[in-house]
Amino acid sequence: MKHDFIDRYSRLESPVHSIEPRAKALAIFALIVICVSTPPQAWWCFLVYVGILAVIATASRVPFSYLLSRALVVLPFILTVAVFTPFTKSGEIVLRVGFLKISKEGLIILWNAAVKSLISVTALIILSSTTPFPDLMRALERLKFPKFFTTVASFMYRYVFIIVDEAERMKLARDSRNFRGRWIWQAKTVGHMIASLFIRSHMRGERVYQAMCSRGFEGSFPRWNDPEMRLADVLFLALVTLAALSARVSLLWH
């Protein structure tokens, strides 16, 4: 079966793809932290952040439509919460629609959540679309991220497709036996399917571990070919951070 990858486009060749993963990850994280700490009223700061991302995205040759569609998948979850605040937050009323009152404070909160989540999510998507997932995990590990997290994420990346395939086969087998009905009747069957999927995954985990031990695994992952930070990588990191930081810091004089 065919699957989409979270790091699709990550093996293209471009100036952005060739930047050392640690430098790239740090630059993106710095941008996100600076963005999130910006007061919502400083709208032109956000323009600078979007500009930085636009330059990186263009240089990476990853299609804009792809970046945008990915960002749109994540956003609804964040926005569902934020979208109600203009109605519920008390304060200066800017608009009345029937019995609904829209407050200025609520609108600012909505804008704040929307713009910051959009910029952060897009930044992360640019990072994951220009860095192969294994390289990204290794970079995080070298940046002293908890090993537990990176190991779990790496295994998930490898096995999620196999588990999805297994679920897909179970679903086919179920539907072949004329399974139908409304969701409340399905609940029991679906429950059983989840349980047996869990057991299968657990058993697979056991076998994978045995196969690893057979090849001398003793608990820690060996590594090779770690890339070194070059001058260009440091420059990229400095440039992105300084550009965002100067917009943020200039607020202090206004």
Rounded least distance, CB 69 to another protein, Å: 22
Shortest CB 62 distance to another protein, Å: 19
125: part of which helix (H) or strand (E)? helix 104-130
Pick from 177, 188, 207, 254 the residue near another protein by CB under 8 A.
Answer: 207
154 part of the interface to another protein, by CB under 8 A = yes
92 residue type, one letter = E
Q: With CB under 8 A, what is the number of residues at the site for another protein?
A: 26
Q: Which of 134, 186, 200, 227 binds another protein (CB under 8 A)?
A: 134
Give me the 167-196 binding string for another protein, x by CB under 8 A, dash otherwise.
------------------------------
Contact criterion met (CB below 8 Å) for 198 and 208: no
Residues 217-246 that bind another protein (CB under 8 A): 217-218, 222-224
| Residue 212 interacting with another protein (CB under 8 A) | yes
For residue 147, CA distances in Å to 60, 134, 136, 177 come to 29, 13, 13, 44
* Pairwise CA distance, residues 88 & 90, whole Å: 6
Whole-angstrom CA distances from 205 to 91, 200, 220 are 55, 9, 17
Cβ atoms within 10 Å, residue 188: 9
List the one residue from 73, 213, 238, 249 that touches another protein (CB under 8 A): 213
211 is a contact residue toward another protein (CB under 8 A): yes
Q: Are 40 and 201 in contact (CB under 8 A)?
A: no
Window contacting another protein (CB under 8 A); options: 71-79, 123-131, 149-157, 189-197:
149-157
Strands (E), 15-173: 93-97, 100-103
Q: Which positions touch another protein (CB under 8 A)? A: 3, 132-134, 154-155, 157-159, 161-162, 204, 207-208, 210-218, 222-224
